[in-house]
Structure 1
């Protein structure tokens, strides 16, 4: 069975749930960042992917892969960007923000709570001084964070002394 990528490039305002059972569902591309999917619960099954540059208007239960912008293989040659989840994210799979090119700057913005259910977060990060010079893909959570999530850093740079808050990987 060969799975492909479906790209939604408009506001999809249906109220039912979305089940990504196989393949990849991309919500928006770099030219269509206002794309959305409906307000019902979104479920990503093991082996399936949800990603893009747009917005999910609901909560997401992830057992597969959630990825932002050019970390999605279909958009690998594109620019960095942000995927927004308006509700909560329960991550029992992989959140991959790391572009295969090593480019840094992708963001997953979760408006609600983040629950790590033994999932993984993958980021590209430049190991350098902290503060304004720091560069990393980033998970941004508007609510509370709980649970367990392993973090995998694809690093570039040779490292430097960090002060203060160091290099911010997640903003809570």
Structure 2
């Protein structure tokens, strides 16, 4: 029996890579605020943003909406479609990191929370500046090694450092 998510919880596929990069830039800004303020509420906002994006992409996420509706079309003015499942996986990793930071902060371990969010900033900065999605790379690795079934994302079977044109030719 095949189970599927309700339509209001679907993640877009494909995804505009420039919108994803824009969201990463916004995450960097909020993550810096989280480190500076070092308060559970800010870590909670960071984690909530990731949760909303994991659930339904940009649909319920203020950062996602801003990226899709304003930043990508008006600032980047480009569209580059990439598979959605690796981006959702990357958002899930972001949720794990930001959720861990929230828990650490609630436990009074502010420095540990700041370090975890610092790692999140590094990953988001790579995405924002270079389009290098560490979560997507991990997704491709796990898929190539059979941890994630090929049926999850048939277009992803060849995710690597190659360009989209090279991936199509392979």
Structure with max Cα Rg: 2
Say yes or no: TM over 0.5.
Answer: no
Give TM-score, length-normalised by structure 1. Answer: 0.22
Give TM-score, length-normalised by structure 2. Answer: 0.22
The structure whose RCO (Cα within 8 Å, separation 6+) is larger is: 2
Relative to its length, the structure with more strand (as a share) is 1
